[in-house]
Amino acid sequence: MADIVTRLTGDARLASRLKGIYSVCSAHPWVIEASLMQARDDGTPLLIESTSNQVDQYGGYTGMTPAVFVRFVRGIAEKAGFPAQSLILGGDHLGPNAWRDLPADEAMQRADALIDAYAAAGFRKLHLDTSMPCAGDPPRLSDEVVAERAARLCAVAEKAAGRAGLREKPVYIVGTEVPVPGGASEALAGVEVTKPRAARETVAVHRAAWHAHGLDAAWERVVGLVVQPGVEFDHTKVVDYDASSAGELSKVLDGLPGIVFEAHSTDYQKPEALAALVRDGFAILKVGPGATFALREALYALADIEDALIAPDARSGLRAVVERVMLEKPDKWEKYYHGSEDEKRLLRIFSYSDRIRYYWADAEVGDATRKLVANLERVVISENLISRYLPYQYWQLRRGSIDGSPMSLIFSKVREVIGMYAAACGR
């Protein structure tokens, strides 16, 4: 694993202390800042990734292009006092996913522009995901077609990195067995671990495609393979990692020097499961909704504290504002949450898939969030009140680790999650 982190950071000293690396997949500034604080205090690198839905050449759903996202994250890092050389930016699910309704030729042209923008902006880690069929494709693409399209994107990225004069060329992640981003939308009946033969064939087919495109030097920078280790979550439950089920898959790495497994959808895994994943070769752990789930827990706990301390006519009304906005703009959740009106209400707030995360950037929700924080900054939040709503943060306050301000409570709550990943990776 140290070799992989060295390739990502260029710093063998930092890499030597790590058994794995975690990837924070979020565009929320407070999640990013909390993650930077965790890595700064641990003295480790931090890998932050954006997905092709969040950030693309048109702005994605965040409104940020790759170059803008780079400036955005680097600005937060500077504010947090995080060393620039330890910050790694990655792009996830880079391919034609956003344009699947277009013919393959047109979708791949847009994917070319996407990967060009990511590589030219200085993203170091690029996950090439071309597994999805486009208009006119068969329902399931062959490994050869997937690999050919991925190699095409690699060639574009190599040219873009060269044109930009980057000191370090990108490293690549390949693999087609990717869990559904954001968790399963329906109840889970079970999760099948990637077959060892399928993992080997994926690598062999991709290596052949790289060679056919004259990309042998770039293949040496393929550092990870996405597989399914048997972890997943849906709206209300989690499928925990079972090391005994993934034992044969782990052995595949013995024949793939320089490559580790990348595990998606590791949100909500138990701390001991995260450590076991890293031990078994799933050395790149990705967390996304789990971090914003913790953010929502912190904000709603603070809203409860606000109710206890602030006069009704001066309160932010955050929970009511979020609910109203989600009902007025249901496009981010209504295709995913089903059941009675009461069941959907609970899912809007508490679902593990955390589709509420798409609403924190809404203008009204943002105003209410800032008012909540401002209200609580003007009062003293007693430690016994913190104990009632944020018990872990209560003990941090008692030990002097945080000052009890609303932002310290928010960052601490997010770091509860990030800290488990840091521990699993050998901080």
Q: Evaluate the CA torsion angle 90, 216, 249, 279 in order and state its sign.
A: negative
Give the number of residues written for the chain: 427
Which domains, and CATH codes, for the chain? 2-287 (3.20.20.70), 292-415 (1.10.400.20)
Q: What is the pLDDT along the chain (427 residues), one digit of tens a residue?
A: 556 666 666 666 666 678 999 999 999 999 999 999 999 999 999 999 999 999 999 999 999 999 999 999 999 999 999 999 999 999 999 999 999 999 999 999 999 999 999 999 999 999 999 999 999 999 999 999 999 999 999 999 999 999 999 989 999 999 976 544 444 455 566 789 999 999 999 999 999 999 999 999 999 999 999 999 999 999 999 999 999 999 999 999 999 999 999 999 999 999 999 999 999 999 999 999 999 999 999 999 999 999 999 999 999 999 999 999 999 999 999 999 999 999 999 999 999 999 999 999 999 999 999 999 999 999 999 999 999 999 999 999 999 999 999 999 999 999 999 999 999 999 6
What is the per-residue burial (b if ≥16 Cβ within 10 Å, else e) of 127-142?
Answer: bbbbbbbbeeeeeebe
State pTM to two decimals: 0.94
Closest to 425 (Cα-Cα) out of 46, 48, 19: 19
Residues 6+ apart with CB under 8 A from 283: 1, 4, 19, 20, 21, 260, 261, 425
Q: What is the CA radius of gyration of the chain?
A: 22
Contacts of 231 (CB under 8 A, 6+ apart): 179, 191, 238, 239, 240, 241, 263, 265, 266, 269, 273, 277
